[in-house]
Amino acid sequence: MWFAGPARRAPLAGRPQALRLGFTLSRGMKVGLYGGSFNPAHDGHAHVAETAKRRLGLDRVIWLVSPQNPLKRGQDTADLADRIAGVEALTRGPGMVVTAAEARLGSTYTVDTIRTLKARFPGVRFVWIMGADSLASFHRWKGWTDIMREVPVAVVSRPWISLKSRFSPAAQRFGRYRRAPQSAIRLPGSPTPAWVFLFGRFNFQSSTALRARARAQPPHKS
């Protein structure tokens, strides 16, 4: 199944990688990898993806909808197909690709996903994209120091957490590798470790708040 929608669909004939993952990439492309549960997807997620795409000059942003975040409870996570549909409804503009590649690869951890995609698409200049809320807890991810050494990382500001995230264990450990926001356009393809913190307008939506609001709503009467 292809998840990116007809407007973003690429020809798949003769491309077994595309058949398995739902997308194909060409050598020299600058591609952002944006992973998460997206449970549910909201405008704050779109803001992170669009900001990174624009500021880094990316050709594509691959939304990697996680089958299950190992740091979160499975019973709180909606079905993968529902979350993919939510992201598809949210994404706008060219170059946004929505995929269940991690489920197809059987990949649980981001570091494994990145290594697999780098091996499958040599010559593509990958960047990992995250919101500042993810940077605050990044040190809890399996292989987080390896991620920083595998690909450059772009962090986009998020409300309430941006200041805290800039003093997080990950930000402090890799502080000397932080690039100025003005040089973000050169981040793809940079020697690693390399990361940038991108400031922008705040979007105050959050998945946690949306789930809490949904639980608080009274049941629908037929």
Tokens (6 digits) for 106: 């059987």
Q: For 11-25, what is each residue's pLDDT tens digit? A: 434 455 555 788 899
In a domain, residue 46? The reply is: yes
CATH number at residue 99: 3.40.50.620
In a domain, residue 102? The reply is: yes
In a domain, residue 22? The reply is: no
Give the three-class secondary structure for 26.
coil
Q: Work out how many domains the chain is built from and give that number.
A: 1
In a domain, residue 18? The reply is: no
Local confidence band at 92 (pLDDT 50, 70, 90 cut-offs): confident
In a domain, residue 23? The reply is: no
pLDDT of residue 199: 85
Contact between 49 and 34 under an 8 Å Cβ cutoff? The reply is yes
In a domain, residue 87? The reply is: yes
pLDDT of residue 14: 44
Contact between 61 and 32 under an 8 Å Cβ cutoff? The reply is yes
Q: What share of the chain is helix, strand, coil (3-state, %, to 5)?
A: 45, 15, 40
pTM, two decimals, is 0.80
In a domain, residue 15? The reply is: no
Angle at 147 between CA 144 and CA 149, to 5 degrees: 120
User: Which domain range does residue 171 map to?
Assistant: 28-216
Distance between CA 182 and CA 41 in Å, rounded? 29
Q: For 151-169, what is each residue's pLDDT tens digit? A: 999 999 877 665 677 789 9
In a domain, residue 44? The reply is: yes
Contact between 147 and 109 under an 8 Å Cβ cutoff? The reply is no
Contact between 99 and 61 under an 8 Å Cβ cutoff? The reply is no
Local confidence band at 201 (pLDDT 50, 70, 90 cut-offs): low
